[in-house]
Chain A
C-alpha cells in the first residue's frame, strides 16, 4: 500500500515537473513536439459481470436476457487535457467497431500529440453529417460494418448497436427472441456522444502508449434511466421482440449515455490488452 502511495506521489510530482516546464514553449500543446499512440479497450459487461455470449442475465425489469450478439460502433474520438484543450482524432479514421462475437475490443489510435489527457469523448454510432457525405467519406466503413451486422439494408442506415438474444420473464417461461437495433433513421437522429473522465491521466509519449480500459454495460440498453420491457414489445404473433425504431430508440439513446465507464488507465509502453 505504502509503495503504491509513494508511486502515485512520485508520478504526480513528475507530471507536475513535465507540465510546468513544457507548457510555455510548445505552441502545439505537445510535451515535446512528438507523437505517440493510445488504445481504447472496451470490456463488455452486464451490470458488473463479464459479458459471455450465450449466458443469461437478469435485469431489474423482471426479465432474463440470454445475450447472443453485442456489437457496436464507436466514432469521433476526442482526447481532452486538464486545461480543456482537445485533440480531435482525424474524422476519416475515427470510425471503429467493437464486436463481442469477433473478439474486437481494442481501438488503436496513432499520431496523437504527446501529452497528458484526462478525458475521452466519443460517439456511439455514426453521425448524420458523416453519413450524408456518402460511402467515400466513410472510407468503406459501410462494408466493414455490414460484415459485423451493423448495417440495415432495407434502409440505408447504420445500426449503432446490435444487441440480440432471447429472453424469459414472468409472462413467458419459454424463451422468445429479441433484437435491439439502435440507430438513426431519416426521421430521428439517435447519434449521441459521451465524455468520460479518466481516473488516471493517460500519458501519451513517443515511447509510451496508454491503454484506456472502458467497461461497457450492455444491461443499460434496456435497463437504464429508461426501462424497456421486451415482453411489451413482442410482435403481434408473440414470437419476437424487435426494437428498431420509434420512441424506444430515443430512450435507448438516452440510456447509452450511461453505458460506458472508464475503469482504469494503463500507462507505460507495450500492449496491454492484445
Chain B
C-alpha cells in the first residue's frame, strides 16, 4: 500500500512538471487510491489473502469493465455478466444450466458472485481456492467463454481505454494476464452484500425489526439449517451430499471431480443463502424453481445416496422434518436476506 501511495506522489509531481509542456495523456489517468473496503461487523473472517492484491479505486473500475466485457470470450459474445446478472445477485436467472458460447449449455447452475473474500473455495466442486485465479475456470471452459489469457491480452492491448486503465491501476502499468486476473479479483473483493433486513437486525440497526414469523423462521433456521449454512454469510464452506436424487443424465460426481476421492462423490459446496430469494433456480443443477420446492425436498425428498451427509440422517428418517407452517416461517426469514442495496449498487453497474 505504501509503495502505491509513494508512486502516486511521484506520479503527481511528474504530471505537474510535464503538464505545461506535454500533451494531456497523463491527465486522463485518475489518481489511484486504496478502495474503502468495509468488512461488515457481523461477518466471519476474511478467508482470502487480500493484502497482496488490495483493491484500489482504479483497480475496481478496471475489474468492473472487464466483468462486463465480452472480449473475454473466444468470439467476443459472452461476458462474465452474461451469466452473473446483478439483479439476481449475479446469478443467471431462469436458467437451470448456464448458457455459454455458441449457445452451448453447461451442467451446473450459475453460482452467485457475492461476499467472495469470506469464502475459502469456489465453484460447486471447489475447483479453485483463490479469488485471484478463479477466473481462469470460466474463461477456459469450452462451454462458457472458451478463450485463453494470451488472446484476451492481445485483444485488450488494441483498446486505448484499457491501455490507460491498466496503466492507472497497476504498478507495472501493463496489460498482462496477472493484472487482468487481479483486476477481476479486486472487483469481486468489493462485491459485499451486507445490507439486508437481516443484517440490520444482526447489527441492531434501524430497519432491522423482524416480524414474528421471520423471527420464528430464524429460530427454526438456527435449529435445522445453520449447522451447514453457518455464520452471517450462511455457509460453512464445506462440501456435502445433501441427498439429492442423482440425475442419471448427468451423474455429476461433484467434489470427487476435483479431488479424485470416492468419499467426495456427490458432495457439492454448501452455498451461501444471501439474496436467496433472487437466485432461483436452486441446487448445483438448478433443479428447483422455488424455495418451497427446496424445503419440500429437505422434508420429503432426501435419498440415501453414496456419502449422504450424517446431518441428513439424524431424525430417524432421511432429511429434515418440517411442517407447512415451519416451512413458511423459514422462507419468510430467508427473504430477509435480500439486499436491495447490493443489487442496485451503481458501483457494480456496467458503465460505458
Contact = CB atoms under 8 A, between A and B. Distances in A.
A21 interface: no
A226 B128 CA distance: 28
A69 B260 CA distance: 22
A134 B133 CA distance: 6
Given A132-B49, A132-B130, A156-B134, A187 B258 contact: yes
Contacts, number: 98
Rank and list the top 8 A-B pairs by shortest CB-CB distance, nearest first: A245-B260, A246-B260, A134-B132, A153-B140, A155-B127, A135-B178, A156-B128, A187-B259
Nearest to A131: B130
What size tier do the contact residues of chain B reach?
A: 35 or more
B228 interface: no
B260 A247 contact: yes
Interface stretch (B179-187, B274-282, B297-305): B179-187
Contact of B182 (A135, A248, A249): A135
A27 interface: no
B241 to A, nearest CB: 15
B178 A140 contact: yes
B135 to A, nearest CB: 9
Given A134-B132, A156-B133, 19 more contacts: A131-B133, A134-B133, A135-B132, A136-B132, A136-B182, A140-B177, A143-B149, A151-B136, A153-B140, A153-B141, A154-B140, A155-B125, A185-B258, A186-B126, A186-B129, A187-B258, A245-B256, A245-B258, A246-B260
25 contacts: A131-B130, A132-B49, A132-B130, A134-B52, A134-B53, A134-B178, A134-B181, A135-B132, A135-B177, A135-B181, A138-B178, A142-B136, A143-B177, A153-B137, A153-B141, A154-B140, A155-B123, A155-B125, A186-B121, A187-B258, A245-B258, A245-B261, A246-B259, A246-B262, A249-B260
Interface of B: 49, 52-53, 121, 123, 125-130, 132-134, 136-137, 139-141, 148-150, 176-179, 181-182, 185, 255-256, 258-262, 264
Interface of A: 131-140, 142-143, 146, 151, 153-156, 185-188, 244-249
Contacts of A187: 126, 255, 258-259, 261, 264
B186 to A, nearest CB: 11
Nearest to A141: B178
A244 B127 CA distance: 13
Given A155-B258, A156-B136, A188-B259, A136 B129 contact: no
Nearest to B170: A136
A197 to B, nearest CB: 34
A231 to B, nearest CB: 18
A151 B123 CA distance: 18
Contacts of A137: 52
Contact of A143 (B126, B129, B150, B185): B150
Nearest to B137: A156
B170 to A, nearest CB: 9
Nearest to B177: A143
B272 to A, nearest CB: 18
Nearest to B176: A140
A188 B259 CA distance: 7
A210 B260 CA distance: 42
Contacts of B127: 154-156, 186
Given A186-B126, A187-B258, A133 B177 contact: no
B130 A134 contact: yes
Contacts of B139: 153
Contacts of B123: 155
Looking at B126, B134, B136, the one whose CB has the most chain A CB atoms below 10 A away is B136
